[in-house]
Structure 1
C-alpha cells in the first residue's frame, strides 16, 4: 500500500520496485521472496492527485491572507500536526520564535505566519524532510482523513484488491492510514496474518483522532510497525500511549532509513528486520 506522491507513475513498475527492495532485505539473511505468491498493488496515486487539484487547498508557504473555511480547517489540522512533530523532534520554542520574528500577532493555529514558522523550524532543525514536502504531506493526509468522498473512493480501490485469502498487508506512509481505514471497516471475512506499517503518521493526534474509537482490525492477527526515529512524520510509535489498541502493536524503532528524508519506502523495505517479519508471515 503505497504512500502519497505517486501520481502519473506505473503501478506495475512501482510493484516491481517494492519487490526488488524487499528482496534486497531478504538477501541479507540468505533468503528471497517466494515467487509463487500473488502480489496485489492497489494504486490510488492518480485519484488522490485529482482531489488535491479539485479542492485546491493552498500550501501554507503560499498563503498571504486568510482563505476559505476549508483553508482554515486545513490550517488547524496542519498546525496540530506540525506542533506534534516539533515537540517530538525536540525543536524548541526559541527555534520557532526565531523563524516567527517580532510579529505582534497572537500565535495560534489560524495564524498562518505562525504555522509557517513551525514548519520552517522543522525544516531547519529536523532530520531531512523539507518544509514544502511536509506541507504537501499534511495536505494529502488532511484530504484523505477529513473528506469522506476522497476516503471512500480511495478505500474502494484498495478494498477491491483484497480477498478473503490469507493476505500479508504491507503499507507505507499515507498508505498505512489508508490500509488501517480499509481493514477496520471491511465487513468481509478477511484474514491478515500480519499487518505491516512503516513510516506511519497514524499516531499523530491530528490523524489518530479521525479514527475514533481506535481499535485493531478484527481481521488482523499481528500488527508490526517499523519507523526511523529521524522520520519526522513517523516520530510517534504506535504504542499504548499514542495508539492504544488490543492486542498491542509491535514497534521497531531501530530502522536507520538510508533515504535522504529518512522516510522513503526503499529505506524501510530493505531493512533486514522488516524484511524478515514479512518473509516469515509469508511462510518463508
Structure 2
C-alpha cells in the first residue's frame, strides 16, 4: 500500500524530500500516540510543485502582489474580482468557533456604498457581486479590504493568507497552462499500486480534480483543511463539481475555526453523491488552524490512515 501526499500552497523554495519528511514525521508522531506502527519513507510519495506554481503565477496576469492587480485592463480581471468577492462574502458570513466571533466586514468603498445605496455592513447578495464584476477594478479596493480584514481576524503565519490561497486556487482552476503543469507533476507519481491519497488545502482541489477524471487504484481519499466547501471554488471546476472520485472512502477532516475549511463537504457541498463523504471536525492546534502538521497527526487522521493502510495490506 502506497501513500501519496499532495501539498498545499506556499511551499516554494523547499523540496520534495523536505516536505515528505515533514508530513511523514508528523504522521508517525500521531501513529505513535495511538500505539500504531509507523509508516516507512519507502511507502510514501510526495510530488512537489511549489516552485512551479510560484514561477507560473508570477507570469500570469491574475497574479497579485499584496493583493493589487497588475493588469486591470485584462478581460480576466472581472472574473477574478467576482471570484474573490464571492469567496470572501461567503467566508465572512460564517462564524468562527474561536471566540464565537462573527465576521461581517462592511463595504469600504464609499462610491460603492453610495452607488448601491446599501448601508455599510449590510451583506451583499448575488446581484451586488455581479455589479462588482461588471465594474471590475473599480471595486477591487473593497475586495482587498475584506480579505485583509479576514486575514487580520483569523491569525495567520507570514507564509499563509486567505488572499494568496484564493489567488492560487483561482489560477489553478482557470489557467490551463498552470493546471496542466501542476497536474503533470502530481499525476507522474501515481502508479498501478493500491494508493491512499492524503491531501491538504490547495492540494485537495488538485487531488479532487485529478481523481474524478480517471479511474485509478485508489483505496481511499483523505482531505485535510479543504477549501472545496467554498462555492466560488466548486462552481469554477470544469466540468462542474458533480463527479465523485472513484474511491470507496472519502474522509474530510476539518477545523470549524479554519477559515478556508469551515464548511463540511458532504452536508453542504457534495450532498448529491450516493456514497457520502465522511466529515470529521477536529481541533487543529496551530495558530491559524490550517497548518498541515496538526491535521495529519490528529488522532482521527492517523486512525483512518492506519485503518486504510492496514486493510490494503491484508487483502
Give your verdict on TM over 0.5. yes
Considering fraction of residues, name the structure with more strand.
2
Task: Note if 1:223 corresponds to 2:250.
Answer: yes
Deviations 1:234-257 (A, max 9, x none): 11111132223231000001x111
- The 5 Å alignment of 1:95-174 reads 95-97=105-107, 100=108, 102-103=110-111, 104-106=114-116, 108=129, 109=132, 110=136, 111-126=139-154, 128=156, 133-174=161-202
Q: Is the 8 A contact 1:127 1:230 kept in 2?
A: no
CA distance in 1, matches of 2:300, 2:19: 22
Q: Is the 8 A contact 2:7 2:203 kept in 1?
A: yes
Q: Is the 8 A contact 2:8 2:203 kept in 1?
A: yes
Q: TM-score, normalised by structure 1?
A: 0.89
Task: Mark the runs of 5 or more structure 2 residues left unpaired by the alignment.
Answer: 1-5, 97-101, 117-127
* Number of residue pairs the alignment of both structures matches: 277
Change (3 A) 1:185 1:122: same
Tell me by how many angstroms 1:71 deviates. Answer: 2.7
Tell me by how many angstroms 1:118 deviates. Answer: 1.9
Task: Mark the runs of 5 or more structure 1 residues left unpaired by the alignment.
Answer: none
Deviations 1:75-128 (A, max 9, x none): 1111111111111237454x424xx16443546434112212322332343454
Task: Note if 1:204 corresponds to 2:230.
Answer: yes
Change (3 A) 1:156 1:29: same
Q: Calculate the aligned-residue CA RMSD, in Å.
A: 2.4
User: 1:210 aligns to what SS in structure 2?
Assistant: coil
CA distance in 2, matches of 1:199, 1:159: 21
Q: Is the 8 A contact 1:224 1:249 kept in 2?
A: yes
Pairing partner for 1:193 from 193, 215, 219: 219
CA distance in 2, matches of 1:13, 1:36: 12
CA distance in 2, matches of 1:64, 1:52: 12
- The 5 Å alignment of 1:241-280 reads 241-244=268-271, 245-253=273-281, 255-280=282-307
CA distance in 2, matches of 1:210, 1:37: 36
